[in-house]
Amino acid sequence: MVLTHLGAVYQAIKTAREMEQGNIMVILADGGWKYLSMDFWNTPGG
């Protein structure tokens, strides 16, 4: 996961340097393992 995050941050910095103005947002997600045991995965429409 760390290499994926580093790639995202690197690309954001590279893109920001090429921009004259604006904002960059990078979302660094976790693995999501804590959500696998939650019931909404098995609830219809959830």
Instruction: Note the pLDDT tens digit of each residue in 15-36.
Output: 999 999 999 998 887 777 777 7
Where along the chain do its domains lie? 2-41
Model confidence pLDDT, tens digit, residues 36-46:
777 776 777 65
Which three-class secondary structure state does DSSP give residue 2?
A: helix
pLDDT of residue 12: 93
Residue with tokens 């696998």: 36
Cβ–Cβ < 8 Å for 15, 1: no
| Model pTM above 0.75 | no
In a 3-state reduction of DSSP, which class is residue 43? coil
Contact 24, 12 (CB under 8 A): yes
- Closest among 24, 20, 21 to 9, alpha carbons compared: 24
Q: Which of 24, 33, 23 is nearest to 1 (CA)?
A: 33
